Amino acid sequence: MSHLTVIIDVTNKCNMACKYCYAGSAWEGIPSAKDINESFNSKIPLLFEFTDQIMFYNKNNPTAFIFHGGEPLLLNPKNWSIVLSYFKEKGYPIEVHVQTNGTLINKEFINLFKEFNVKIGVSLDGPSSLNDQTRIFKSGKGSFSTIFKNLQKMKEAGLIFGCLFTLNKNNLDMVAIYDFFKKNNISFNIRSIFNTKFQVPKELLITPYEYALSFCKLFDLWFDDEIRPPLIGDFNNMVARFIKPLERLTTCTFTKDCSKDFIAFNMEGNLWPCNCLSDPDFYYGNIQEENMANLLNSPKVKELSNRWQRLSRTDCKDCEVSRYCYGGCPSRAYDYYGSYFNKDPFCEAWRMIFKHVYARIKSSLKNE
């Protein structure tokens, strides 16, 4: 391993009850902000110890810290300020990202994130008619109006943010999705709903074919738009893959060996290859018991790094797009098949998508 992007799991609690929640917090009661913040505050020294170790491991090179949950903004601005101030005082070149549901953003958070140049990702599934079918509060009320108001506040303050759109059975209207994000000048990325150990409702799940059709339709709308198309990072990266492939210029789904590029940390000091792979099978260890560098040199870590070597000799051996997707996401493979070393269950979708994108780029270059 040479350089790691960090995923920090600050809490598994959430104030919402999204119907496709992958963390399991949707089915719990309303969380206690007081308890969450007291618990987090008591463990801040452990987070600092991990930060020191990861920055030493990364040779103090620029490093992305992605704060996840649950809902990370259940932590109050005071706790956030302690953490962000530590990064600054140590002179660490850390790029901070926060993935949030967007409902708790207020002026204090906006000022804090602007001061420390924090980049915000907000989960939003399109206009209210689509978003509010699945992204709801624990009361059952839709979240769109709250989120959208907060997006406007961040935009007015000049904060850098984008949205994460989760494709599910209820929001397959790509024209409505594209028009919404374009009209409001909001950059976004697209993800598919997937089944998890928390059993996502079957009526929301989509097939690989449905995902591929929707993705390609959205790509065409974007690719053919000559009048200020919105920024869709996934599409930019995918186009770059064909023009000048760079392993790190991609989403984690298409990383050749994500175990060498990412590490997940929770506030107990535990390490995992990803926040979506927190089963005992993938537990690296705890930094309170062993130095992180030693944990990353374990047989388990080395075994996980062999995934692509296995797939390139088996399932992906004769696939014409394998050098772009590298077998897809191991976490989804584990959820669906019980094996990290299987190919992504949406393999056929990726094959359709890469072929489509390549054909569009090739045709466009011919016409120039």
Mean pLDDT by 10 residues, the chain (368 residues): 87 92 74 94 98 96 94 97 98 97 97 97 97 95 98 95 95 96 96 79 92 97 95 89 62 84 95 90 95 92 92 93 90 91 94 94 78
Angle between helices 77-89 and 33-42 (to 10 degrees): 20
Q: What is the pLDDT of residue 246?
A: 57
Q: What is the pLDDT of residue 257?
A: 86
Please list, in sequence order, all residues whose beta carbon lies within 8 angstroms of the beta carbon of residue 101, skipping any fewer than 6 positions away.
Answer: 14, 15, 16, 18, 71, 73, 122, 123, 135, 143, 147
Q: How far apart are CA 4 and CA 299, in angstroms?
A: 18
Q: What is the pLDDT of residue 23?
A: 72
Q: What is the pLDDT of residue 368?
A: 61
Token pair recorded at residue 360: 């569009």
Handedness of CA 107, 22, 311, 317 (dihedral sign): negative
Q: What is the pLDDT of residue 290?
A: 95
Q: Are strands 94-100 and 119-123 parallel, antiparallel or unpaired?
A: parallel
Q: What is the pLDDT of residue 137?
A: 95
Amino acid at 185: N
Query: 322-348 burial, b if ≥16 CB within 10 A, otherwise e?
Result: bebbbbbbbbbbbbbeeebbbbbbbbe
3-state DSSP helix/strand/coil % of the chain, to nearest 5:
45, 15, 40
Judged by DSSP in three states, 139 sits in coil
Q: 311: exposed, middle or buried (C-beta count within 10 Å: 0-12, 13-18, 19+)?
A: buried
pTM (2 d.p.): 0.93
Q: What is the pLDDT of residue 131?
A: 97
Q: What is the pLDDT of residue 247?
A: 52
